[in-house]
Structure 1
């Protein structure tokens, strides 16, 4: 079961830009492409911990500002010769409203607590 929570409006995010949402599992970067598609991924590059929200958005990809690793906003996987991935999170739009699936975040937070 999904619990959709409004996290902002499309107009809050510049085209080819990002805004961040703080969650119990860390910061999540919410990206808007030039085609007004929205994607959410964790805001930490697995390579050197760079803030992906400060990267360059091109198509449905973002380039890490620290070492130029490129990640698919759709799948979270590193592109080209780079290896690794970032977690992706489900979003949906209701007109201008952007909604995130909070149940997935809560489940991840519960799993993290159980592992500690």
Structure 2
């Protein structure tokens, strides 16, 4: 009995030193550094703003599995885009943006948005 208690205590102490990593933090870059690069120009339309935000999220999780990237992009659409029509448009962009980022991670956000929504979405540096 005493050996069992000692073994369980040892297991508990050893497991206390194991720090689990969150699966959604895989390869995530510092979003605050990237966010400063992708500020849409004044008077840009909502579609461009959504697209640029999705590209930022996609680039943040580009090192992760595609499902994790898409999960974060979908969460953005649900949490940040309140208009139902814009939310639907946001969700429609996710697959195309994710694939564009995976295919060419060095491409700039304007090029991704031009390919996905067929308009130029300038941003301030």
Asked whether the two chains share a fold, i.e. TM above 0.5, the reply is no
Structure with the larger RCO, 1 or 2 (CA within 8 Å, 6+ apart):
2
Is the radius of gyration larger for structure 1 or structure 2? 2
Question: When you count helix as a share of all residues, which structure comes out higher?
Answer: 2
